[in-house]
């Protein structure tokens, strides 16, 4: 967990919830869990999520439409992300591998396209589930 001084009230509430969660959270489950703190509408959640993603505090797991806290302290923006996802228990871990991130950040092919961002999702069975 890092400093949250620049975050607004709703952003703090939602980041706090996501950071304390043991797994990915979905937007409407977040909404349900912060209703007692005065956040009443989906849009309030999505706005906070957008901001938190923008500053790299959380990431969206695209294949699950769910959100996790960034576990990579030097991941200031969500522009180079990799996750491993257990297809059985749906546990998600942020992959933090310097070789991998260098390889992907520098990846270029003959398409002439300049990449400035990537997101990678690995799927499989986690240690517990593959038994």
From the list DNA, Zn ion, its own copies, none, pick the one residue 3 interacts with, judged by a Cβ distance below 5 to 8 Å according to partner type: none
Residue 104 token pair = 């992907």
Binding pattern to its own copies, positions 50-69, x when CB under 8 A? ------------xx------
Binding pattern to its own copies, positions 16-55, x when CB under 8 A? ----------------------------------------
126 sits near its own copies (criterion: CB under 8 A): yes
Q: At what angle do helices 42-54 and 27-34 cross, to 10 degrees?
A: 110
- Sheet with 25-26, strands from edge to edge, namely 25-26, 66-69, 58-61
State the minimum distance, in angstroms, from the CB of residue 106 to DNA: 29
Residue 15 token pair = 């980041």
Judged by the rule CB under 8 A, the positions of this chain that interact with its own copies are 62-63, 84, 86, 93, 95, 97, 100, 103-104, 107, 109, 111-127, 130
């Amino acid at each position: 967990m890092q400093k949250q001084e620049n975050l607004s009230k709703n952003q703090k509430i939602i980041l706090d919830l996501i950071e304390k969660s043991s797994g990915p959270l979905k937007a409407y489950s977040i909404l349900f869990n912060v209703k007692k703190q005065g956040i009443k509408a989906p849009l309030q959640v999505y706005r906070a999520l957008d901001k938190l993603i923008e500053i790299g505090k959380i990431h969206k797991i695209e294949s699950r439409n769910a959100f996790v806290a960034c576990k990579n302290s030097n991941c200031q923006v969500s522009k180079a992300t990799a996750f491993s996802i257990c297809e059985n228990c749906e546990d998600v871990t942020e992959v933090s591998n310097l070789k991998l991130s260098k390889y992907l950040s520098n990846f270029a092919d003959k398409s002439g396209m300049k990449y400035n961002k990537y997101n990678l999702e690995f799927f499989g069975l986690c240690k517990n589930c593959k038994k």
